[in-house]
Amino acid sequence: MEEEQRGRQQRLFEERFEVFFERRKERERFYQHVDQVAKFMSTEFDKPSLTFFAAILICLENSYWNQSNTVTFIDSFQEAFKLYTQTGVRENAETSLKLLEDYPPQYSSTFEPFQSALIKTLLQHRLSHSENADTQNTY
| Mean pLDDT, the chain, whole residue set | 82
Instruction: Note the pLDDT tens digit of each residue in 43-63.
Output: 999 888 889 999 999 998 998
Instruction: Provide the whole-model pTM.
Output: 0.69
Exposure string for 52-77, b = 16+ CB within 10 A, e = fewer: bebbbebbbebbeebeeeeeebbebb
What does the alpha-carbon distance between residue 67 and residue 65 come to, in Å, rounded to a whole number? 6
What does the alpha-carbon distance between residue 48 and residue 41 come to, in Å, rounded to a whole number? 9
Is the predicted pLDDT of residue 110 greater than 80, yes or no?
A: no
What does the alpha-carbon distance between residue 135 and residue 78 come to, in Å, rounded to a whole number? 16
Instruction: Note the pLDDT tens digit of each residue in 123-134.
Output: 999 998 754 334
Q: CB of 103 within 8 A of CB of 114?
A: yes
